[in-house]
């Protein structure tokens, strides 16, 4: 089953929500955990126990594991396996982007099931040219994995590049959206998605014909509400996977508190969006 089909099934049965696993120092401290790899392990184990069977996707942010060196990477490997064992989908938030053999090596590390770091999908940066991601896209297709390509990010520096006009008169972001749409010209939800911040507002970009998932970070602590999703994404809303982190993780470390936070978000998304399936 392709990643797109697995994601559609997960969103329809568990609700359309991605929760980031972002063990930054402030959260470890707030949870009363030590600022070391043992605290990292306990944090991830709690999140997966609480949410691994209750949300469509969990999204570990690679940088917060890398900062602990090889022991942190070992915890990332464990976390990805634990998500898989819980029946959930994982997106590794690494935003990789390079050329030639290097991007091929990233593909082998994060998308080949033979790798201990393999996830169901990865975030990727296209700003060395969309074509530079071809080895990553090829490995994703071969192993039925997904790639989420940065298109319209919510950071204030993003528009400097993403809203720039190309010789065709289109914006860089629109050309990325169109390139992803071309890859998803198949029946059902495609496996190549985009990242569009839930807080970007109405930028005039078109999601028509994208036929792929839209990972939309920014729900909750970053300011986006469920009502904003319809305004930003319009008719593409059924393919949107809203992502939140601090709004849920800040309720920890109690397992039930994390679950309650997710249930509230599921209810809000279902009520505000209408087209979303209720959990």
Contact between residue 144 and residue 192 where contact means Cβ atoms under 8 Å apart: no
DSSP conformational letter for 165: B
- pLDDT at 61 exceeding the cut of 90: yes
Q: Which stretches of the chain are DSSP H helices?
A: 3-14, 25-30, 37-51, 62-66, 70-85, 100-111, 134-142, 159-162, 172-183, 226-233, 246-249, 255-273
Tokens 């080949």 correspond to: 112
Give pLDDT, residue 51: 98
**Region of residue 4 (left: phi > 0; alpha: psi -120 to 50; beta: else):** alpha
Q: Are 123 and 94 in contact (CB under 8 A)?
A: yes
Torsion, Cα of 39, 44, 49, 52 (10° steps): 170
Say which of 5, 24, 84, 95 is annotated catalytic.
95
> 3-273 falls under which CATH superfamily?
Aldolase class I (3.20.20.70)
State residue 79 phi and psi, 5-degree precision: -65, -45
**If you search the block for the tokens 């992803």, which residue do you land on?**
180
Question: What's the pLDDT band for 279 if we cut at 50, 70, 90?
Answer: very low
Q: Does residue 278 have a pLDDT over 70?
A: no
Q: Kindly report the backbone phi and psi dihedral angles of residue 248, in degrees, each rounded to the nearest multiple of 5, phi listed first.
A: -95, -50
- Nearest-Å Rg of the Cα atoms of the chain is 18
Our answer to whether residue 95 is catalytic in this structure is yes
Q: Is the pTM of this model over 0.75?
A: yes
User: Looking at residue 43, what is its pLDDT?
Assistant: 98
Please tell me the predicted confidence (pLDDT) of residue 275.
46
């Amino acid at each position: 089953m392709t990643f797109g089909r697995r994601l559609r099934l997960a969103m329809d049965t568990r609700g359309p929500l991605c929760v980031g696993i972002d063990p930054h120092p402030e959260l470890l401290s707030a949870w009363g955990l030590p600022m070391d790899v043992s605290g990292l392990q306990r944090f991830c184990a709690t999140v997966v126990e609480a949410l691994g069977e209750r949300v469509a996707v969990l999204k570990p942010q690679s940088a917060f594991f890398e900062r602990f060196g090889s022991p942190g990477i070992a915890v990332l490997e464990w976390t990805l396996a634990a998500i898989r064992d819980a029946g959930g989908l994982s997106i590794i938030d690494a935003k990789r982007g390079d050329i030639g053999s290097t991007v091929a090596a990233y593909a082998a590390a994060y998308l080949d099931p033979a790798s201990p770091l393999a996830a169901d999908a990865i975030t990727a940066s296209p700003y060395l040219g969309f074509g530079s991601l071809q080895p990553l896209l090829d490995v994703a297709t071969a192993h039925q994995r997904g790639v989420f390509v940065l298109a319209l990010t919510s950071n204030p520096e993003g528009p400097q590049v993403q809203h720039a006009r190309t010789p065709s008169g289109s914006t860089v972001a629109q050309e990325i959206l169109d390139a992803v749409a071309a890859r998803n010209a198949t029946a059902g939800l495609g496996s190549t998605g985009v990242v569009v911040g839930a807080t970007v507002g109405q930028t005039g970009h078109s999601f028509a014909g994208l036929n792929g998932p839209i990972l939309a970070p920014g729900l909750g602590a970053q300011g986006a509400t469920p009502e904003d999703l319809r305004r930003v994404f319009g008719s593409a809303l059924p393919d949107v996977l809203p992502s939140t982190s601090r709004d849920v993780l800040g309720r920890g470390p109690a397992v039930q508190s994390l679950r309650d936070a997710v249930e509230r978000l599921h209810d809000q998304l279902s009520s505000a969006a209408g087209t979303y399936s209720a959990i």
